[in-house]
Amino acid sequence: MPSQSGAAAHGPIDLDHLREMTMSDSALEREVLRLFVEQTANTMRALASLPDNAAALAHTLKGSARAIGAFRVAEAAAALEAALHPQGGAREAFARLEAEVGAARQAAAMLLAQPKS
C-alpha cells in the first residue's frame, strides 16, 4: 500500500494499484469499479445512522477500498472504525469518510464513462 502522501498523489483511486489488482484486465477493472460504486452507496446509507454494526461496516469498506486503490477512503474508514470506540469522534470521522467516498465514487464514474480499451 502506498504511503499517505503517495496515495494523495494518485487522487481518489490509485490507477496503478487497480490495474495491478485486476492484472490489467480492463473488463475486470470496470466490473470491480462498478461493484465498488454500488457497495459504497449501500454501505454509506447504512452507516449514516451509525448503527450498532457501524465498526464492522467501516472495516468492510476499508478492505474494499484498499483492494481497488481508494486509499484515502480506506484511511477514512479506518478513522471511523477507530472513532466508534469509546473515545468518540464518530460523526466527524463519518463526515470525512463521506467526503472521501464521494471523491472515489466520482473518480470511478469518470473511469467507467471512458470508452472501453
Q: Which three cell numbers stand for residue 2?
A: 502506498
Per-domain residue ranges for the chain?
4-113
What is the identity of the amino acid at 14? D
Instruction: Tell me if the pTM is above 0.95.
Output: no
Q: H helices of the chain, where?
A: 4-9, 15-21, 26-47, 54-68, 71-83, 90-113
Contact yes or no for 116/34 (Cβ under 8 A): no
**Residue-wise pLDDT tens digits, 41-53:** 999 999 999 999 9
Q: Which whole-number Å values give the CA distances from 78 to 58, 102, 108, 117, in the listed order?
A: 7, 16, 21, 34
**Rounded distance between C-alpha atoms, residue 27 and residue 25, angstroms:** 6
Residues whose CB is less than 8 angstroms from the CB of residue 45 and which lie 6 or more positions away in sequence, other chains included:
none
What is the reported pLDDT for 111? 94
**Residue-wise pLDDT tens digits, 84-94:** 877 667 888 99
Give, as one character, the DSSP assignment of residue 115: P
**Rounded distance between C-alpha atoms, residue 111 and residue 31, angstroms:** 11
Question: Along the chain (117 residues), what's the average pLDDT of each consecutive run of 10 residues?
Answer: 47 95 96 97 96 95 97 96 80 92 96 88
**Rounded distance between C-alpha atoms, residue 78 and residue 104, angstroms:** 16
Enter the CATH code of domain 4-113: 1.20.120.160
What is the reported pLDDT for 87? 62
